[in-house]
Amino acid sequence: MLKKQLRRDEGGRHDCNKPAALHLIKHYEGLQLKAYQDAVGVWTIGWGHTKTARKGMVVTESQAEALLLDDIAEHAHGVAGALKVKVEQHQFDALVSFAFNVGVGAFTNSTLLKLLNDGNERAAASQFDRWVYAGGQKLGGLVKRRTSERILFVTGKLELL
């Protein structure tokens, strides 16, 4: 199994395979071994993998785990590259979960990131609650996920709703 990791070191990098990030993503993505279309019609498999998912695709749990670790590493690199300020591991984990769900592009263009990079953590944290819509519909699952991400970001506590 391929494990790509970022470990926090003198350069300020983070370990993207910490239990908080993994548990959060696994909990809200859910494991699906057969490809399906998500709420907005995107083919998805495993724990939220979309990059190579296609109709009729089937994976094993170990293949899904490898896809997830690769996807998390990719999103962690995107988050790390967009940050202009130092954050704690729990904040990084929350941001990786957020970017995993909305995409690195949306994350890098978000008001959440702008406020965080401007040094306003409190205002940045309030932005999680704005990202609860998919296809123009407010989704209960996204409300719960953003609440968990915000709690993790602010307090360091992992609360799965």
- Catalytic center residues: 29
- DSSP letters of 119-134? T-HHHHHHGGGG--EE
Q: Residue 115 is encoded by which pair of tokens?
A: 């406020």
For tokens 């990202």, what's the residue? 131
DSSP state of 101: H
Give the span between the Cα atoms of 22 and 102, in whole angstroms. 16
Q: Residue 118 is encoded by which pair of tokens?
A: 């401007």
Identify the sign of the CA torsion 151, 160, 94, 113: negative
